[in-house]
Amino acid sequence: MAPLPTQTSADFYPLLGAGFSHNGLLQCAPTDVQTLALVYNRQLFQDAGLDPPNASWTWSELRAAAEAVADLPSVNYIPAGLALGVDASRWLPFLYQAGGEWRAADGSVATPSVDALTQAVTFYTDLIYDGLALEPGDLNSGWNGELFASGRMGMTIEGNWIAPFLEQQRPDLAYGIAALPIGPAQGGTLAFANCYAVAANSVDPEAAHALVAALTSSNSMRSAIGHSPAIPARPALAAEWLAAWPELTPFADGLSNALLWQFPVGLEVMADEIDQVLRAVLDGDLTDEEGAIELLTITQRLLNREE
């Protein structure tokens, strides 16, 4: 990719500016970003005598709420605490919350501790192993949002994109959104972003740069606000986005303590490797500690790639 000389990373959220820059130069101009948050079923929470999740919720309260919903009497179906599959993108926030950062603030790779890895593996896999969380495939669903839309799940962990899906598929389903719980070390979530870049061998770099500048301008991002729940990459548009999507505020709040879902080119398969380790722990092929060591090896390979 060719650097974008006409744009600076300061124009975008710090998370995005750092994540899409190299040696101080912006390589890919971000357009929008979405984060993960806790989505909960208001009716099931009420039936279980639970207050809505709040910003001070911890892992313990998340598990307790999942237990309370799972213990509700079954009438036409058996409820479950969470819709949560074996998925690196849903597990990594728990690693972050345990103090295991795999990305530093400047976007470089960091090495999480074995203790943080073990805590995240144990908490996450126990939710599924203990029957408090169902995986999408357990009820023939394709993803967490579809399983949550069944009305049987107390909670799920999803991004902004779940809002239009539920509006279309289950407009009658009363749900709320809250921040992900605080872990043993801190709060935190994961962010997913899109960006535009210019190829280093572009036949017309001047025109390409002009196109990227137009596509990532304030006017261009503003025009998308009413059509997409994705957050514009420019903080200057935050108030306009919040006015259009006030119920999605927790997703925007997550940008203050999010890490970017991002792997070096060629190492995208690492997400699948993380999934395989988590599955091996669930199947009893690895202990929690052995799984943590395997995950540390995966992270170390990522670190070696960037050195």
- Using alpha carbons, select from 254, 214, 303 the residue that is nearest to residue 15: 254
Write out the residue range of the structural domain in which residue 278 sits.
36-190+263-306
In a domain, 240, yes or no: no
Show the 3-state SS of 72-135.
CCCCCCCCEEEECCCCHHHHHHHHHHCCCCCECCCCCECCCCHHHHHHHHHHHHHHHHCCCEEC
What's the gap between Cα 184 and its chain centre? 19
Residue 22: the pLDDT is 85
Residue 218 lies in a domain: no
243 within some domain: no
* CA distance readout (Å), 261 to 206, 222, 297: 30, 24, 19
198 within 8 A of 2, measured Cβ to Cβ: yes
Tens-place pLDDT, residues 47-67: 999 999 999 999 999 999 999
The verdict on residue 254 lying in a domain is: no
- The CATH number of the domain where 64 resides is what? 3.40.190.10
**Per-residue pLDDT tens listing for the chain (307 residues):** 888 877 777 899 999 998 999 888 999 999 999 999 999 999 999 999 999 999 999 999 999 999 999 999 987 678 899 999 999 999 999 999 999 987 666 656 678 899 999 999 999 999 999 999 999 999 999 999 999 999 999 999 999 999 999 999 999 999 999 999 999 999 999 999 999 999 999 999 999 999 999 999 999 999 999 999 999 999 999 999 999 999 999 999 999 999 999 876 655 678 899 999 999 999 999 999 999 999 998 877 766 655 4
Residue 5: its pLDDT value, please?
75
Count how many domains the chain has. 1
Other Cβ atoms closer than 10 A to 287: 14
Residue at 98 is within a domain = yes
Is residue 302 domain-resident? yes
Could you tell me which of 178, 179, 188, 158 has the C-alpha nearest to residue 94? 188
> Tokens 């090896």 identify what position?
297
The answer for 164, left when phi > 0, alpha when psi is -120 to 50, beta otherwise, is alpha
Phi/psi zone of residue 188: left (φ > 0), alpha (ψ -120 to 50 degrees), beta? left
Tell me, what's the pLDDT at 244?
97
Reported as type and span, the H/E element at residue 178 is strand 175-178
209-243 burial: b if 16+ Cβ within 10 Å, else e: beebeeebeeeebeeebeebbbbbbbeebeeebbe
Count of beta carbons in the 10 Å neighbourhood of residue 54: 10
- pTM of the predicted model as reported, rounded to 2 decimal places: 0.94
Instruction: Give CA angle at 254 (158, 29), nearest 5°.
Output: 95
**Total residues belonging to the chain:** 307
